[in-house]
Amino acid sequence: METDATYRGTVYPWQCDHVGHMNIMWYVGKFDEANWNLFARLGLTPSYLRGSGRGMAAVQQNITYKRELLAGDIVEVKSRLLEIRDKSIRFVHEMRNAETGEIAATCEFVGVHMDREARKSTAFAPAIREAAMRHLERAMA
């Protein structure tokens, strides 16, 4: 079993729409769960965010739908960090049907590191930048 996925789950019947495939709101939800797993790998854990008064805000999200997902399908999301800047990161998620390997959807995000009290962007801590750089280097290799 793969261990580098940022999300694994199942499509439930109640997540499907009148056409019979997973509704777009659930793609967004599964990508959101992958966000938090990717962030944790960079050190942006719930404890860090709560303790530091920091947060992450999505400022851009582009989804491409490629294949249907149906009730019972196993879903896997893998994520790659594309860019790290002083206050923002850009990354992409690739959602696959884990059984067939087919890409169901991709989603590219730009996320901004926020000071929750000041309600404005702020630079990443050095340790988070360093962790992000390691992930960036692996993605480029």
Total Cβ atoms within 10 A of residue 100: 11
pLDDT tens-place string over residues 63-119 = 999 999 999 999 999 999 999 999 999 999 999 999 999 999 999 999 999 999 999
- Residue 69 tokens read as 């997902």
pLDDT of residue 2: 40
pLDDT tens-place string over residues 17-45 = 999 999 999 999 999 999 999 999 999 99
Task: Please give the domain boundaries of the chain with CATH numbers for all domains.
Answer: 7-140 (3.10.129.10)
Q: Are 7 and 30 in contact (CB under 8 A)?
A: yes
Instruction: Give ∠ CA 96-102-105 in degrees, rounded to 5.
Output: 50
pLDDT tens-place string over residues 53-77 = 999 999 999 999 999 999 999 999 9
In eight-state DSSP terms, residue 26 is: H
Measured CA to CA, the distance from residue 99 to residue 31 in angstroms comes to: 19
Q: In angstroms, what is the C-alpha Rg of the chain?
A: 16
- Residue 97 tokens read as 């049907």
In eight-state DSSP terms, residue 70 is: B
User: Closest Cα partner for 112 from 102, 120, 101?
Assistant: 120
Q: Are 68 and 36 in contact (CB under 8 A)?
A: no
Total Cβ atoms within 10 A of residue 99: 11
